[in-house]
Amino acid sequence: MSAVSAAPLLSYIVLSYNYECYIGQTLRSIQEQSVQDFEIVVVDDASSDGSREVIRSFDDPRIRLFVNDRNMGGAWSYNRAVEAARGKWLVNLDADDWIAPGKAQVQLDLAQADHRLDIVGTYVNAVDVNGDPHPQRQEVEDYCNRRLNLNTVDTWVGQNPLCRSSTMILREAHIRIGLDDPTMVRAPDYELWTRALRHDCRFGVIPERLTYLRLTSSGVTHGDPVTTFLEMTYATLRNLYPVAEKRSLLLSVQRMIDWVSSHDFLSSLPRVEAHRLVGMMLTTPSMGNFQAFRQFLADRDNDPALMSIGQRCLAMSQRKTLNSDQVQDLMEARDFWFNNSKEWQIHSHSKDAAIEEIRQSLHSALDELSELKLFCENTKKRTLQWQARRLSALLSSRFSRLR
């Protein structure tokens, strides 16, 4: 076992809450890494199961356990871990996930090859509660394991393609961009990544499945999709919008507005809040954390013009959607008639060929009939001649006897 370092190369950040049955595998996967210069900062968010006993059973002085007095949530616990970490790189790993033995080395090699990188992730394997391939593995991995440029705004509009458990981030970069927003529950990682983009951090991804992502129904991302939508919208306004404006990416701004105004969960909000939210996409008012954003959104007396702006924007968006639908219908109709005209043309040619074949067969039949008729006439003629000769011979024979 490696000696404890006051300034390790890696600080693994493991957030634990009632993962007694999984955290042992998580910690072992860290201990089995080829890079051994690390510490493990575990923050237990007041678990009610035996998680802490499992953690303490590991005889490894590199494991540093911090226990919250009460349940504080993932973002608050993450911030506590970041502040306690001493490593050059902060390596994220949830307490129900695990990693391949060579993961850290591969990520460090990429960071060494490109010194501009601040955040390095990997592809993932999607597994179920038993660690077996998840039934929706293909769908999840197709989403997470894409060759995307994470350094562009458009990559982040309406989606989070980077799995937190696969990432390591330079500690000095994390200090520069700040900690998680503790008022967020569903998408603090998305807000952190988009904020990193706003602060000009560079992303890199290893296209190898080195992280095992366990999908459970108890995960926070599986509940309250409306709040997830609001948190992602907040991050979009706070982080992506300024980057798009700074880089003069007008089409990216339009994509953000379209994403919010056409989102399925926009209609789940009270009508006034929905209109104000769309209005905020056009005016981008200053805001603090997510909680302040929610309060501003719900305050009907604060900037009442937002609702009117949002209403008009939605009307224009719906008109645009209507026009787009009409164009799409016309294109589909065009394709239908074009494709069917080909079939009809082929069918017509087939009919013409069939008619010509019948005509040829009819001509052949008529020729055969003419030949048969001629044959019959010749046969009849020869038969009559034969009968005449026979009758003549018979008469000649009788006349001879009479003499």
Secondary structure class of 44 (helix, strand, coil): strand
Q: With CA atoms as reference, report the closest residue to 67 among 41, 93, 38, 28.
A: 41
What fold characterizes domain 10-222? Spore Coat Polysaccharide Biosynthesis Protein SpsA; Chain A (3.90.550)
- Distance of alpha carbon 75 from its chain centroid, rounded? 25
In terms of average pLDDT, the best of 193-207, 218-232, 271-285, 353-367 is 193-207
Examine the pLDDT at 403 and tell me if it is beyond 60: no
CB 156 within 8 A of CB 77: no
Q: What is the pLDDT of residue 13?
A: 99
Report the chain's mean pLDDT, rounded to a whole number. Answer: 90
The sheet with strand 38-44 has its strands ordered as 63-67, 38-44, 10-16, 89-92, 168-170, 119-127, 203-214, 98-99
What digits encode the pLDDT tens for the residues 92-125? 999 999 999 999 999 999 999 999 999 999 999 9
What 8-state DSSP symbol labels residue 236? I
Alpha-carbon separation of residue 228 from 204, 231, 290, 307, 363 (angstroms): 25, 5, 12, 22, 78
Confidence of residue 382 (pLDDT cuts 50, 70, 90): confident
Which tokens go with 109? 């090699």
Alpha-carbon separation of residue 276 from 82, 226, 268, 272, 364 (angstroms): 35, 16, 14, 6, 83
Rounded CA gap, 338 and 39, in Å? 66
Rounded CA gap, 348 and 257, in Å? 50
Q: What is the pLDDT of residue 398?
A: 60
In terms of average pLDDT, the best of 192-201, 282-291, 302-311 is 192-201
Examine the pLDDT at 307 and tell me if it is beyond 60: yes
89-92 and 168-170 beta bridge pairing = antiparallel
301-323 burial string, b = 16+ CB within 10 Å, else e?
eeeeebbebbbebbeebeeeeee
What digits encode the pLDDT tens for the residues 318-349? 655 545 555 466 667 666 776 777 777 777 77
3-state helix, strand, coil in the chain (%, to 5): 55, 10, 30
Kindly state the percentage of the chain with pLDDT values over 70: 90
- Cross-strand pairs, 168: 91, 120
Least confident of 190-199, 223-232, 283-292, 377-386: 377-386
Question: What single letter denotes the amino acid at residue 220?
Answer: V
Decide which of 392 and 12 is more confident: 12
- Cross-strand pairs, 92: 13
Rounded CA gap, 313 and 132, in Å? 47
Domain boundaries, the chain: 10-222, 240-330
- Cross-strand pairs, 91: 12, 168
What 8-state DSSP symbol labels residue 86? -
What integer is the mean pLDDT of 47-58? 98
What digits encode the pLDDT tens for the residues 255-279? 999 999 999 999 999 999 999 999 9
Secondary structure class of 91 (helix, strand, coil): strand
Rounded CA gap, 150 and 228, in Å? 21
Decide which of 317 and 194 is more confident: 194
Rounded CA gap, 150 and 163, in Å? 12
Q: What is the pLDDT of residue 218?
A: 60
What 8-state DSSP symbol labels residue 2? P
Decide which of 88 and 2 is more confident: 88
What 8-state DSSP symbol labels residue 345? H
What integer is the mean pLDDT of 159-181? 98
Alpha-carbon separation of residue 198 from 49, 55, 118, 183 (angstroms): 39, 37, 13, 20
Q: What is the pLDDT of residue 322?
A: 47
Q: What is the pLDDT of residue 377?
A: 79
Least confident of 72-76, 172-176, 391-395: 391-395
Question: What single letter denotes the amino acid at residue 264?
Answer: D
Sign of CA dihedral 6, 9, 13, 14: negative
Least confident of 31-35, 59-63, 383-387: 383-387
Rounded CA gap, 15 and 93, in Å? 8
What digits encode the pLDDT tens for the residues 26-51? 999 999 999 999 999 999 999 999 99
Rounded CA gap, 65 and 141, in Å? 32
Q: What is the pLDDT of residue 318?
A: 67
